[in-house]
Amino acid sequence: MPLTDTQVRNAKGKEKPYKLGDGGWLFLLVNPDGHRYWRMSYRFAGKQKTLSLGVYPAVTLAEARKRRDEIKEQLANGTDPSEARRATKAAVALGTDRTFEVIAREWHTLKSSAWVASYSKLLLSRLEADVFPAIGRRPIADIEPPEILAAIRKVEARGALDLAGREMQAVGAVFRYAVATGRATRDPTQDLRGALKPAGRQQHHRAMPREELPDFLRAVAAYDGDPRTALALKLMLLTFVRTSELRAARWAEFEGLNGEEGVEPLWRIPPDRMKMRFEHLVPLSRQAVAVLRELRPLSGVSPYLFPSPSKEGVMSNNTMLYALYRLGWHGRATVHGFRGMASTWFNEAGYDRDWVERQLSHDERNKIRGAYNSAQYLAGRRQMMGDWADYIDRVAAGKPAAGKATPAVPVEN
């Protein structure tokens, strides 16, 4: 039942702290010394959190309820109230809410609920490392294009051309948010179009030429490093998911690995780990299942396929890339490039384009293909993935791989 003013006023300290609930996650915490504090519990992104709403009687019951309702409105809009409060405190610390850093943090908090957690964290760390030191304390309305370019040029000078472009895009997004909220009049990054060196996307995600695949498969088979890394490369080649999706994979996401009757082997990647924020299904070939069975005892009791004592708790983002370097493929291929190699093979073999696009988890929800459905074309995709794995087996065995697979007639909607 809701609290009354009399109950709050007469609440006395006891031997241990205790709570008086008012409903809607609002409660009064009464300490042994008699001090009374308003608190509110809530869940955000699957985590339980508690927020302080003030001290009674300075904050009355009515005022506490008003603050509770404001927090509920923030949650309904996808904003974490704790992060919003942190951004506000940062504005006070800097003496204004109109500096680039304060507005950038505000923008990041607003947008982060729609992003994968790892991407959200990475983006903020990039801004903190490369942009805030240069223009973070400048009033956003006073920042001119040369200042932005000077900051991004330092990233470019490290050879991180793709990263420089991404950071420029993020800076532009912050300026557009500032314009929308009345704290800037224009986005100066628009004046910098063409000022950066081209990123060279093919080089960044270089796909391995298929004629080099036999040598690569032999090198992986003879890899003398951590066997889990070699298995990761094999699994990446067989499933061609994104690197982040493989690194943080959990055993709970896999079905049918033990030959359960009527259960086809399947990897079900949840929405919160997908770039497009939709569940993604990966039909597993018998070769992929064999790799997973070999990997299982190497993971120990960890819920992850590739556990690590690192802060992130899973395999580093660079582990597989460095393995490619060690195998002699530095500058010749990237892990992400496996996606391009598989895509080319599928399209040349004549598989239905919808099967290929859905298996690559490309975003076609805004096209005429209809509502997004992770299970769409699953039967055809399962055949396609099996054919791809068989093709890799033929290449590894040194058998002719010129013959194309014969795709099934697409019958799914």
Pick from 254, 288, 291: which is nearest to 270 by CA? 254
Catalytic entry in 186, 362, 399, 404: 362
Q: Which ranges of 240-329 would DSSP assign to H, the alpha helix?
A: 243-247, 286-295, 319-326
Q: Is 204 one of the annotated active-site residues of the chain?
A: no
Buried residues in 84-96 as b, exposed as e (16+ CB within 10 A): beebeeebeeeee
Residue of 205, 296, 372, 394 marked catalytic: 372
Catalytic residue of the set 65, 108, 242, 382:
242
Output the CA torsion sign for 33, 36, 37, 43: positive
Residue 85 falls in the annotated catalytic set? no
Residue 132, CB-side half-sphere exposure with 13 Å CA sphere: 13
Name which of 297, 338, 342 is nearest 320 in CA terms.
338
Q: Which of 154, 166, 210, 275 is catalytic?
A: 275
CA pair distance 162, 54, nearest whole angstrom:
46
Annotated catalytic residue, options 154, 176, 326, 336: 336
Quick count: other Cβ atoms within 10 Å of Cβ 180? 10
Tell me the longest C-alpha to C-alpha distance in the chain. Answer: 86
Active-site hit among 228, 280, 339, 382 = 339
Catalytic residue status for 242: yes
Residue 377 catalytic?
no
Q: Is 273 labeled as catalytic in the residue annotation?
A: no
The three-state secondary structure class of 311 is coil
Q: Is 339 a catalytic residue?
A: yes
- 373 membership: H or E segment, kind and range: none
Collapse the DSSP code of 250 into the 3-class scheme (helix H, G, I; strand E, B; otherwise coil) and give the result.
Answer: strand
Catalytic annotation, residues: 242, 275, 336, 339, 362, 372
